[in-house]
């Protein structure tokens, strides 16, 4: 961790806060899908019933679950690495995978014509882009 008085501390703090946020967001969401697979599958089947994706809901759920768990795990590992080594490499990969996960979620919401749900994802996506950016600065 850089000295509190240095400008490097501000960058490190942004990296830590973004990584923590993304870790919480995606670990909670991914684990919810794992522990309530049946409930999520039932809800999503209804959600996509009138979309061209209705026949691939189980595959989509499996894919987004893996993406979310990987995003959360990488962000959490990046958070630990920021404290232990000061390296933001894992945090970068967590942020990048988070952005990809959010694009997948956004695509699904738009295909289901759930425009309000898609709009909510924009703030999360912007945060993930900020995280991608700040984890590459030195």
pTM attached to this predicted model = 0.91
Q: Supply the DSSP string of 37-75, one letter for each residue.
A: HHHHHHHHHHHTTTSTTGGGHHHHHHHHHHHHHHHHHHH
- Mean of the pLDDT values across residues 36-49? 91
Per-residue pLDDT at 47: 84
Per-residue pLDDT at 123: 97
The model's confidence at residue 21, banded by pLDDT at 50, 70 and 90, is very high
Query: Quick one: which of 32, 64, 35, 70 has its CA closest to 48?
Result: 64
Per-residue pLDDT at 53: 86
pLDDT at 4 over 90: no
Average pLDDT, the chain: 94
**Alpha carbon 53 to its chain's center:** 22
Place of tokens 């993930």: 128
Query: Quick one: which of 61, 68, 54, 56 has its CA closest to 22?
Result: 68
pLDDT at 137 over 90: no
**Alpha carbon 17 to its chain's center:** 14
Number of CB atoms found within 10 A of residue 83's CB: 11
Mind listing the pLDDT tens digit for each residue in 89-128? 999 999 999 999 999 999 999 988 889 999 999 999 999 9
């Amino acid at each position: 961790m850089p000295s509190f008085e240095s400008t490097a501390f501000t960058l490190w703090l942004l990296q830590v806060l973004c990584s923590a946020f993304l870790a919480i967001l995606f670990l909670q969401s991914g684990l919810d899908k794992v522990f309530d697979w049946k409930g999520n599958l039932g809800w999503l089947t209804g959600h996509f019933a009138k979309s061209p994706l209705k026949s691939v809901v189980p595959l989509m759920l499996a894919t987004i679950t893996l993406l979310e768990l990987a995003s959360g795990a990488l962000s959490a590992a990046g958070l630990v690495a920021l404290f232990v080594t000061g390296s933001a490499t894992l945090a970068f990969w967590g942020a990048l995978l988070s952005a990809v996960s959010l694009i997948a979620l956004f695509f699904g919401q738009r295909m289901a014509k759930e425009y309000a749900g898609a709009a909510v994802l924009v703030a999360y996506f912007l945060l993930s882009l900020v995280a991608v950016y700040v984890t590459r600065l030195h």
